[in-house]
Amino acid sequence: MSSTENMVFHVQPGGALKGTFRVPGDKSISHRSIMLGSLAEGVTHITGFLEGEDSLATLKAFRSLGVTIEGPEQGRVTIQGVGMHGLKAPQVSLDLGNSGTSMRLLSGLLAGQGLEITLVGDSSLSGRPMRRVTDPLSKMGAAVETTESGTAPLTIHPVNALKAIDYELPVASAQIKSCLLLAGLYAEGETRVTEPAPTRDHTERMLRGFGYSVQKQDSTISLKGGGKLTACDIDVPADISSAAFFLVGASIAPDSDIVLQHVGINPTRDGVITILKLMGADIEVMHRREVGGEPVADLRVRSAKLHGIDIPEEQVPLAIDEFPALFVAAVCAEGVTRLTGAEELRVKESDRIQVMADGLKALGADVTPTPDGIVIEGGVPLQTGRVNSHGDHRIAMAFAIAALRAQGEILIDDCSNVNTSFPGFTELASGAGLVISTSVEN
Ligand code: S3P
């Protein structure tokens, strides 16, 4: 499909979700497995790797940096680690597509390599704020250049050495934290990052899995530069952010009963379960286990009568990617749901507050966006209509599951980026009971 073509989802109203299935691998963990596996000494075997465009962009970037990587084949990837100082200057710019995680984490990981490297992205990624990483990196002595407006392309210039900093994150962002910890691997001294609220800790967990010492005291995470990583095997759990569409879908569609297998339920990612349960959802966390340092479970979800809530602000970073789906839950709930403290949603793959509000209004819902959140008056039935996802994967999938409770067909424009995080979404959703088809328009 060319970038000018429009992939349209056509979703028929009603239906129930049934069955037992596993959504694709966790995107955040997949990115990090390629990054750390490449820098490790020895061979890293990954299973459950997400074969979506975002994590594939990271994989291709490391191939361009001279790393031999086999796969992916049915989620299996083998990386011949090159060691901390084995990356080679790429012959081309590294194209990271739609992936903010690739760009922000790589800017840190590559800042101390002594190589000249340019990072580019698609139009959405090229509009997202990058000074949040380049400012602290320059305090470490890195030379990472942005455009005048603080966006990509990013050009990384070689520098002699990085020095550790003690940095307080101005926003609760795992991408900034991870960027600085990865740069800290190459810095002289101890890099310390303090977060205003807990954010996903996959980088810290995986660094430890690769044998690197990472300390955590209260909200400060620290590591010393100059160590090494030792290859290990990684089993990537199913992505709770992809499972979220089915957690909401099965909750709102009458007569639904599903089991989502092997879902990562890391406590820094489980806000969607907490929030849905506060709204009255029937979610059973079964067979809790630990896989490669990450908690995993099977999630049984049955339809439930949801009610509106004031979403606790401390849950926002723990559910940061799940709000498009949660807004759909709130529309189908009785009463008012209020979200505050979520201004970060405005700088995701799209402005998720505005784009969701526009689409939900087009379908007849009663929603009011605010600078840092939204107010949703639940219980107003969704009508037939056509909405635009603005190329944002999670918005496309959120509107697809909204059809389960709509009174007519929903058409969703600009859906090809669903492949960034959830390849096979339409097939898996159809198998579960959503009546969805696609067309391509010029
Ligand atoms: C991610 C962190 C989050 C999240 C993104 C993935 C990560 O971004 O929205 O999808 O893998 O570190 P922020 O850290 O900017 O909130």
- The answer as to whether 109 is a domain residue is yes
Characterize 90-101 residue by residue with b for buried, 16 or more Cβ atoms within 10 angstroms of its Cβ, and e for exposed.
beeebbbbbbbb
- The answer as to whether 1 is a domain residue is no
**In total, how many domains does the chain have?**
2
- From residue 233, how far is each of 47, 206, 291 by CA, in Å? 8, 11, 11
Cβ–ligand 1 contact at 173 (below 6 Å): yes
**Residue whose CB lies within 8 A of the most ligand 1 atoms, among 320, 344, 345, 395, for a mutation test:** 320
- Nearest Cα residue to atom 4 of ligand 1: 321
3-state secondary structure 144-182: EECCCCCCCCEEEECCCCEECCEEECCCCCHHHHHHHHH
* Strand arrangement of the beta sheet that strand 410-413 belongs to: 385-388, 410-413, 6-11, 436-441
Torsion, Cα of 20, 25, 26, 27 (10° steps): -140
Domain match, 309 and 409 both: yes
Q: For residue 241, give the ligand 1 atom closest to its CA.
A: 10
Domain match, 270 and 393 both: yes
CB 418 within 8 A of CB 393: yes
Domain match, 260 and 203 both: no
Picking from 206, 235, 264, the residue at the C-terminal end of a domain is 235
Domain match, 185 and 330 both: no
Pairing of strands 220-224, 190-194: antiparallel
Domain match, 249 and 206 both: no
d(CA 349, CA 271): 20
Torsion, Cα of 394, 400, 406, 410 (10° steps): 110
Cβ–ligand 1 contact at 203 (below 6 Å): no
Picking from 189, 219, 235, the residue at the C-terminal end of a domain is 235
- The answer as to whether 223 is a domain residue is yes
Q: For residue 320, give the ligand 1 atom closest to its CA.
A: 9
Give the other-Cβ count within 10 Å of 400's Cβ. Answer: 25
Residues in Cβ contact with 229 at an 8 Å cutoff, skipping those fewer than 6 apart: 36, 39, 40, 41, 81, 84, 207, 210, 211, 212
- Nearest Cα residue to atom 5 of ligand 1: 101
Domain match, 89 and 207 both: yes
d(CA 371, CA 431): 38
Looking at residue 408, the DSSP 8-state letter turns out to be S
Give the helix/strand (H/E) hosting 310: none
What is the Å distance from ligand 1's center to 137 Cα? 18
User: Is this structure's pTM higher than 0.95?
Assistant: yes
**Residue whose CB lies within 8 A of the most ligand 1 atoms, among 32, 101, 182, 417, for a mutation test:** 101
Q: Could you tell me which of 226, 137, 124 has the C-alpha nearest to residue 176?
A: 137
Cβ–ligand 1 contact at 111 (below 6 Å): no
Cβ–ligand 1 contact at 104 (below 6 Å): no
Q: What is the pLDDT along the chain (442 residues), one digit of tens a residue?
A: 666 799 999 999 999 999 999 999 999 999 999 999 999 999 999 999 999 999 999 999 999 999 999 999 999 999 999 999 999 999 999 999 999 999 999 999 999 999 999 999 999 999 999 999 999 999 999 999 999 999 999 999 999 999 999 999 999 999 999 999 999 999 999 999 999 999 999 999 999 999 999 999 999 999 999 999 999 999 999 999 999 999 999 999 999 999 999 999 999 999 999 999 999 999 999 999 999 899 999 999 999 999 999 999 999 999 999 999 999 999 999 999 999 999 999 999 999 999 999 999 999 999 999 999 999 999 999 999 999 999 999 999 999 999 999 999 999 999 999 999 999 999 999 999 999 999 999 8
CATH number at residue 371: 3.65.10.10
Q: For residue 321, give the ligand 1 atom closest to its CA.
A: 9
Domain match, 363 and 230 both: no
Q: For residue 27, give the ligand 1 atom closest to its CA.
A: 11
Characterize 49-66 residue by residue with b for buried, 16 or more Cβ atoms within 10 angstroms of its Cβ, and e for exposed.
bbbbbbbbbbbbbbebbe
Domain match, 253 and 303 both: yes
Which residues are identified as catalytic? 321
Domain match, 372 and 421 both: yes
Cβ–ligand 1 contact at 175 (below 6 Å): yes
- The answer as to whether 106 is a domain residue is yes
d(CA 326, CA 324): 6
Residue 224, domain extent: 27-235
Cβ–ligand 1 contact at 113 (below 6 Å): no
Domain match, 263 and 336 both: yes
Domain match, 224 and 262 both: no
Q: Could you tell me which of 420, 418, 421 has the C-alpha nearest to residue 436?
A: 418
- Nearest Cα residue to atom 13 of ligand 1: 173
CA 59 to chain centroid, in Å, comes to 16
Count of all residues that appear for the chain in the document:
442
Give the other-Cβ count within 10 Å of 285's Cβ. Answer: 15
Picking from 203, 235, 267, the residue at the C-terminal end of a domain is 235
- The answer as to whether 365 is a domain residue is yes
- The answer as to whether 220 is a domain residue is yes
Q: For residue 178, give the ligand 1 atom closest to its CA.
A: 12
Provide the terminal-to-terminal Cα distance of the chain, rounded to the nearest Å. 10
Domain match, 272 and 220 both: no
Both structure tokens of 152? 């990509």
